[in-house]
């Protein structure tokens, strides 16, 4: 059993009926294995008309808001049933809010939970990506980003993407409940990605993890071709990782937007859930 996780927030933003969500099933599975309470926010984004529009446009917006509300209520009902079937104590809400209000509501909820579980979104401009980044920057709590193929919580083998920064140290600490329960933990540094001469090395952090009873190994990767994220993803596959732990946005946020970066690349493409802290 996962020790130390007592409350899990599962955030869903619903717009389309055929929009898949792995966060719900994965989050309930995680809560079940941790013996934790789950809070499901099955939220719909309310369309807000900021200017005076003709009656026909206003009616279309009102109809769309009603459709989204019905969808969120249906998903909330399903979440209650799934949680009950799994034996998970669950609180379910289906608010309809404008995106700024939704972001603030999710952030407030995240601050009083151990972990927030969200669906991955490969498109940087998507609403879900905006929510991921808002929670990373503003909640002070870790975020688990779950790709579409991951429906059940598994964390037997965990890869830690280590660069010695304060962010990855925070992520490492936030991931402790999962790391302690894992069969194998590998701390991976990528040589050539940045100047790590003054950072704490993976070799130095390994004894700290071993004192917590972890089966830990250390790996230094040299980037010979491709980018850092590509090399890390490839190694995570070779290690058969069930989860990747990483600090978010090691470089300046504006630089990430313009040039990409490891965080953006992993949010766009990852085969396994990411536990991220900022």
In order of their start, the domains of the chain are 7-146 (3.40.50.620), 157-277 (3.40.50.620)
Q: How far apart are CA 263 and CA 120, in angstroms?
A: 12
Burial bucket for residue 49 (CB in 10 Å: 0-12, 13-18, 19+)? exposed
DSSP-assigned beta bridge partners for residue 191: 222
pTM metric for this prediction: 0.91
CB atoms inside a 10 Å sphere around CB 238: 10
Q: How far apart are CA 27 and CA 111, in angstroms?
A: 17
Residue 258 clears pLDDT 60, i.e. is over it: no
Q: How far apart are CA 173 and CA 125, in angstroms?
A: 30
The DSSP 8-state label assigned to residue 89 in this structure reads -
Per-residue pLDDT at 257: 41
Per-residue pLDDT tens digits for 200-254? 788 999 999 999 999 999 999 887 666 788 889 999 999 999 999 999 865 545 4
Backbone φ/ψ region at 69: left (φ over 0), alpha (ψ -120 to 50), beta: alpha
Per-residue pLDDT at 35: 97
Q: How far apart are CA 27 and CA 22, in angstroms?
A: 8
pLDDT (average), residues 140-165: 95
Q: How far apart are CA 12 and CA 118, in angstroms?
A: 7
List, in sequence order, the alpha helices (H) in the chain. 23-34, 55-86, 99-110, 127-138, 166-174, 176-181, 202-211, 228-239, 253-259, 262-268
Q: How far apart are CA 144 and CA 27, in angstroms?
A: 9
Q: Could you give the C-alpha distances from 64 to 46, 74, 212, in angstroms and in order?
A: 9, 15, 52
Q: Which of 10, 36, 47 is nearest to 178 (CA)?
A: 36
Residue 117 DSSP SS3: strand
Q: Which of 77, 123, 131, 72 is nearest to 100 (CA)?
A: 131
SS3 sequence, 192-249? CCCCCCCCCCHHHHHHHHHHCCCCEEEEEEECCCCCHHHHHHHHHHHHCCCEEEEECC
CA 205 to chain centre: 24
Residue 21, φ and ψ in degrees, nearest 5:
-140, 120
Gyration radius of the chain's alpha carbons: 20
The DSSP 8-state label assigned to residue 47 in this structure reads P
Tokens at 41, concatenated: 């926010």
Residue 13 clears pLDDT 50, i.e. is over it: yes
Per-residue pLDDT tens digits for 42-68? 999 998 876 655 667 788 889 999 999
Residue 126 clears pLDDT 60, i.e. is over it: yes
């Amino acid at each position: 059993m996962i020790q130390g996780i007592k409350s899990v927030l599962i955030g869903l933003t619903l717009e389309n009926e055929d929009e898949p969500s792995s966060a719900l099933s994965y989050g309930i599975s995680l809560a079940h294995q941790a013996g934790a309470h789950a809070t499901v926010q099955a939220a719909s984004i309310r369309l807000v008309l900021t200017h005076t529009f003709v009656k026909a446009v206003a009616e279309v917006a009102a109809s769309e808001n009603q459709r989204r509300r019905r969808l969120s209520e249906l998903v909330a009902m399903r979440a209650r049933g799934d949680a009950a079937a799994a034996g998970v104590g669950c609180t379910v809400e289906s608010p309809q809010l404008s995106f700024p209000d939704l972001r603030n509501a999710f952030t407030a909820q995240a601050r009083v939970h151990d972990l927030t579980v969200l669906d991955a979104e490969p498109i940087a401009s998507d609403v879900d990506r905006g929510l991921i980044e808002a929670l990373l920057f503003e909640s002070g709590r870790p975020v688990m980003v779950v790709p579409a193929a991951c429906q059940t919580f598994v964390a037997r083998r965990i890869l830690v993407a280590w660069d010695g920064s304060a962010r990855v140290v925070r992520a490492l600490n936030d991931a402790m409940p999962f790391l302690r329960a894992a069969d194998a933990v590998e701390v991976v540094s990528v040589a050539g990605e940045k100047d790590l001469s003054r950072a704490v090395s993976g070799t130095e952090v390994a004894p700290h993890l071993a004192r917590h009873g972890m089966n830990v190994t250390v790996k230094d990767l040299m980037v010979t071709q491709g980018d850092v994220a590509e090399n890390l993803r490839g190694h995570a596959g070779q290690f058969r990782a069930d989860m990747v732990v990483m600090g978010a946005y090691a470089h300046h946020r504006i630089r990430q937007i313009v040039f990409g970066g490891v965080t953006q690349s992993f949010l766009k493409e990852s085969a396994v859930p990411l536990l991220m802290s900022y």
